[in-house]
């Protein structure tokens, strides 16, 4: 009888209520994490403990992207976005470098040492004269220590207006050996509507280097543009190395009082015994328009073979002065020549590219090292 009852119970089990099932499921889910922790917590682990860090970058910028919107920015020689930032850390911040995404950028910063709580400014002038029209994005990456090494990238987005001035070629490059009488033509085309009735007049053409000369060939109208043609002649047997310069086209135009075309001549190959190093490779001078004597110059160091005899420094524009001294170098058979640049008188308005040329002799052979310098007008 008892056996019969058990068999009946197996065939017809008593249903369990849904409420009871829910209670068991909840209890099981609650126990699983505890059981897992108990099992794994009882095992010895040789791994490092988890560490949480709250270290944050000290510099905080008011904005990391400046977007000028979908409309074209007004036509202008230079677009000048500004980024403000603050040192929110407890230690002094040291700016160690600024890497621009384009050679048309000339980033500058109000100071390279930022005290805790101080607010400073980074300016990113963008020279528009040789930039193509349409949407453009530019970046500058700022490296600093707080005291940990940090990097932050700032961006600028803008739609540039249709070209009003086109320079062909944008950079005149003559690589390798220069032949006697070698000539190149640079054409400046002005597409502005107002230039059709009153073309821009060129008042002077000059070169910044003894390696080449530049002269005005003529001005003419073609395909709806006023065009200026400049002839450039290069000197034969230039000193070894790659040298830089600028062609300067002065005009009577208020918007473009000076048009500058970069020039590169020669190559970067030198004999290993004639290795040359320059620090920094490009310079920057801040011009104070209201008080020229307070303009901020800079120092440039040249590492040269000790057998070179430095004779003089040339500068363009001539308003830049250069004083130099030579000391023994850190590398055997080398010397360090320190050049201090300063300025007390403003150059012609519109000059934004300058050149420092260090001249020397190696026996009877002339030597030359050039450094491009950006002028920042403030």
pLDDT in tens, 163-180: 788 888 989 998 877 777
> Are residues 354 and 281 both part of a single domain?
yes
- 114 part of a folded domain: yes
Mean pLDDT of the 20-35 span:
41
- 50 part of a folded domain: no
Say if residue 286's pLDDT is above 80. yes
Q: How far lies 31's CA from each of 21, 35, 36, 42, in Å? A: 15, 6, 9, 16
The total domain count for the chain is 3
Q: Which residues pair with 133 in a beta bridge?
A: none
Mean pLDDT of the 225-233 span:
92
- 1 part of a folded domain: no
Query: What is the percent of the chain with per-residue pLDDT over 90, rounded to a whole number?
Result: 53
User: Where does a domain end: 269, 284, 306?
Assistant: 269
Q: What's the pTM value of the predicted model, to 2 decimals?
A: 0.64
- 32 part of a folded domain: no
Most confident stretch, 145-159, 184-198, 258-272: 145-159
User: Where does a domain end: 269, 304, 327?
Assistant: 269
Say if residue 9's pLDDT is above 70. no
> Are residues 143 and 199 both part of a single domain?
no
Most confident stretch, 155-159, 210-214, 265-269: 155-159
> Are residues 275 and 265 both part of a single domain?
no
Contact 144, 96 (CB under 8 A): yes
pLDDT of residue 24: 40
- 6 part of a folded domain: no
**Using one digit for the tens of pLDDT, what is the confidence trace for 312-325?**
999 999 999 999 99
More confident residue, 291 or 274: 291
- 254 part of a folded domain: yes
Q: Which residues pair with 137 in a beta bridge?
A: 157
pLDDT of residue 225: 81
> Are residues 253 and 306 both part of a single domain?
no
pLDDT of residue 106: 82
pLDDT band for position 222 (50/70/90)? Answer: confident
**Using one digit for the tens of pLDDT, what is the confidence trace for 271-280?**
777 789 999 9
- 16 part of a folded domain: no
Say if residue 185's pLDDT is above 50. yes
Structural domain harbouring 312: 270-378
Say if residue 32's pLDDT is above 50. no
pLDDT of residue 199: 85
User: Where does a domain end: 125, 145, 160?
Assistant: 160
Q: How far lies 102's CA from each of 112, 160, 265, in Å? A: 22, 15, 21
> Are residues 121 and 187 both part of a single domain?
no
- 44 part of a folded domain: no
> Are residues 105 and 181 both part of a single domain?
no
Say if residue 33's pLDDT is above 80. no
Residue 206 to residue 319: CA distance in whole angstroms: 16
More confident residue, 347 or 21: 347
């Amino acid at each position: 009888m008892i056996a019969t009852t058990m068999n009946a119970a197996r065939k017809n089990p008593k249903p369990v209520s849904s409420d009871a099932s829910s209670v068991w499921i909840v209890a099981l889910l609650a126990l699983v994490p505890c059981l897992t922790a108990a099992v794994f917590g009882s095992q010895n682990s040789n791994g490092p403990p988890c560490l949480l860090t709250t270290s944050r970058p000290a510099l905080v910028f008011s904005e990391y992207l400046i977007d000028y919107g979908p409309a074209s920015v007004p036509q202008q020689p230079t677009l000048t976005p500004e980024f403000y930032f603050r040192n929110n850390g407890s230690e002094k911040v040291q700016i160690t470098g600024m890497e621009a995404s384009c050679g048309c950028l000339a980033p500058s910063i109000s100071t390279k040492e930022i005290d805790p709580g101080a607010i400073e400014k980074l300016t990113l002038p963008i020279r528009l004269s040789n930039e193509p029209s349409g949407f453009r994005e530019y970046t500058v990456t700022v490296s600093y220590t707080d005291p940990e090494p940090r990097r932050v990238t700032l961006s600028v987005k803008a739609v540039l207006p249709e070209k009003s001035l086109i320079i062909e070629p944008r950079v005149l490059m003559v690589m390798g050996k220069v032949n006697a009488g070698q000539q190149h033509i640079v054409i400046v085309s002005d597409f502005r509507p107002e230039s059709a009735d009153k073309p821009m007049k060129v008042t002077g053409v000059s070169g910044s280097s003894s390696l080449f000369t530049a002269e005005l060939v003529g001005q003419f109208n073609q395909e709806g543009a006023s065009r200026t043609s400049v002839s450039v002649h290069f000197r034969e047997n230039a000193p070894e190395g790659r040298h830089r310069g600028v062609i300067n086209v002065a005009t009577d135009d208020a918007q473009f009082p000076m048009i500058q075309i970069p020039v590169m001549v020669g190559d970067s190959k030198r004999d290993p015994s004639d290795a040359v190093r320059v620090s920094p490779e490009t310079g920057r001078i801040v011009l104070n328009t209201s008080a020229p004597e307070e303009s901020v110059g800079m120092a440039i160091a040249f590492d040269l073979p000790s057998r070179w005899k430095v004779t003089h420094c040339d500068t363009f524009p001539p308003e830049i002065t250069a004083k130099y001294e030579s000391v023994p170098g850190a590398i055997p058979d080398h010397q360090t020549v320190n050049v201090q640049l300063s300025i007390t008188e403003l150059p012609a308005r519109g000059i934004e590219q300058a050149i420092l040329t260090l001249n020397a002799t190696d026996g009877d052979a002339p030597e030359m090292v050039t450094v491009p310098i950006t002028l920042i007008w403030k």
